[in-house]
Amino acid sequence: MQSVESHIEKSIKSKPKGSLVLPSDFMQYGTAKAVQKSLERLEDKGIIIRVAQGIYVRPKISKLIGPLTPSAEEVAEAIAKRDRIRTVPTGSYALNALGLSTQVPMNIVLLTDGSPREIKVGKRTIKFKKTTPKNLLAKGKISRLVIQALKEIGNGKVTAEEEQKILDLLRKEDVKDLKHDIALAPVWIQKIMKKALTDGKN
């Protein structure tokens, strides 16, 4: 048991502070149970902090506020990586990610092809919502957020200012990816997104 723990401790200490730590990172050192026990003991020692079930962090320490824990967004990314699932931000989270809303959503809702679940990170919640494969086919990092953000705003409710912001962002997208993703969007969203292919390029 001791050697599993010392191997894991050494491995964690070689990571930069602020790194997320998952039990699956250490399976080469022992059984799932031994790894879990070792992580619990390293948490007791203060070497790592648990931020959600099965997710720890090697904390960065701030002189002013003590240990800094990762954001719910970083935890969501780590879970997607660990479980090898695809995710797409949706709702107010997509609006915030695009800068269309300054409100940081307390609940992060992600569409996924993985299993549905809810994970608490501090006061915030990450919700993985099972969706159809079509919703996860978008290739562009910006355009897939735009599709979800526009769905959240609603047909006929997009202001001229919001549309302008969206088009400015879409022009940074790879044209090939943008054309691919436009085809996946509802017709009213396609009309808005297509403007990014023509506007400003004359």
Contact at 8 Å (CB) between 55 and 39?
Answer: no
Q: What is the mean pLDDT of residues 182-187?
A: 96
* Rounded CA separation 78/22 (Å): 8
Q: Which residue, 63, 70, 72, 65, is CA-closest to 17?
A: 70
The pLDDT of residue 53: 85
User: Each residue of 63-104: pLDDT tens digit?
Assistant: 888 888 888 999 999 889 888 999 999 999 999 999 999 988
Q: 57 has which bridge partners? A: 20, 49
Give the domains, in start order, of the chain with CATH numbers.
Answer: 2-68 (1.10.10.10), 72-135 (no CATH), 137-198 (no CATH)
pTM listed for this prediction: 0.79
| Mean pLDDT rounded to a whole number for the chain | 92
The pLDDT of residue 168: 96
Contact at 8 Å (CB) between 111 and 87?
Answer: yes
Indicate whether 116 pLDDT > 80: yes
Length of the chain: 202
Tokens encoding 77: 């990314």
* Rounded CA separation 166/186 (Å): 16
The pLDDT of residue 200: 55
The pLDDT of residue 202: 41
Question: What is residue 99's DSSP assignment?
Answer: T
User: Each residue of 3-55: pLDDT tens digit?
Assistant: 899 999 999 999 999 899 999 999 999 999 999 999 999 999 999 999 988 89
Q: What is the mean pLDDT of residues 146-156?
A: 96
